[in-house]
Chains A and B, each alone.
Chain A
Amino acid sequence: MASPPPAARARRRRGSLAPYGFLGPATVLFTLFFALPIGFAVYLSLRAVKVKGLGLGSHARTEVWAGLSNYTSALADPELLSGSGRVLLYGALLVPTMLGAALFFALLLDVPRVRFGAFSRLVIFLPYAVPGIVASTLWGFLYLPQVSPGYYLLTQAGMSGPDLLHGNGLYLAMANIAVWGGTGFNMIVIYTSLRALPAELYEAARLDGCSELQIALRIKIPLVAPSLVLTFFFSMIATLQVFAEPMTIKPLTNSMSSTWSPLMKVYRDAFVQGNIYSAAATSVVIAAATLLLSFGFLKLVNKRANGGS
Chain B
Amino acid sequence: MSTTTAPAPRRTAPALPRKGSAPAPRRTAWTPTLLLLLGAVYCLVPVVWVVTAATKSRQELFTTFTYAPGSGFWDNLTELSSYRGGVYWQWMANSALYAGAGALLSAAVSGVTGYALAKYRFRGRSAVFNVLLAGVLMPPITLAVPQYLLMSKAGLADSYWSVLLPSILSPYGIYLSRIYAEAAIPDEVVEAARVDGAREWRLFRSVALPMMVPGLVTVFLFQFVAIWNNFLLPYIMLGDDHKFPVTVGLYSLLQQGANEPALYTLVITGALLSILPLIALFLGMQRYWRVDLLSGAVKS
Contact = CB atoms under 8 A, between A and B. Distances in A.
Interface of A: 1, 4, 13, 15-16, 18-23, 25-26, 29-30, 32-34, 36-38, 40-41, 44, 101, 104-105, 108-135, 137-139, 141-142, 144, 146-149, 152, 180, 183-185, 188-193, 195-196, 199-200, 202-203, 206, 212, 226-227, 230, 237, 240-241, 243-244, 247-248, 251-252, 263, 266-267, 270-271, 276, 279-280, 283-284, 286-287, 290-291, 294
A124 B147 contact: no
Given A30-B132, A147-B66, A193 B297 contact: yes
Contact of B45 (A21, A26, A142, A252): A142
A113 to B, nearest CB: 5
B204 interface: yes
A22 B204 contact: yes
Interface string B250-278: 11001101100000100110010011001
A119 B40 contact: yes
A240 B141 CA distance: 11
A294 B250 CA distance: 33
A287 B46 contact: no
A-B complex: 10 closest residue pairs judged by Cβ atoms: A22-B116, A18-B200, A192-B292, A37-B146, A19-B120, A120-B36, A131-B229, A138-B46, A129-B278, A123-B40
A38 B140 CA distance: 11
Nearest to B228: A131
Contact of A123 (B27, B44, B63, B229): B44
A280 B146 contact: yes
A33 B169 CA distance: 8
B155 interface: no
A126 B43 contact: yes
A148 B28 CA distance: 35
**Chain A facing B: main interface SS:** helix
A90 to B, nearest CB: 16
26 contacts: A4-B123, A15-B194, A16-B122, A22-B204, A29-B169, A33-B169, A36-B150, A40-B146, A105-B35, A105-B36, A112-B15, A112-B18, A112-B24, A124-B40, A128-B225, A129-B275, A149-B45, A189-B291, A196-B299, A203-B20, A283-B145, A286-B139, A286-B141, A287-B139, A290-B137, A291-B137
A290 B131 CA distance: 15
B279 A126 contact: yes
Contacts of B46: 135, 138-139, 142, 180
Contacts of A138: 46-47, 49-50, 271
B128 interface: yes
Contacts of A130: 47, 229, 275, 278
A132 B225 CA distance: 11
Given A15-B200, A18-B201, A117 B14 contact: yes
A263 B33 CA distance: 40
Residue from A44, A133, A263 with most neighbouring chain B CB atoms (10 Å): A133
A192 B11 contact: yes
Interface string B268-300: 100100110011011100100101101101010
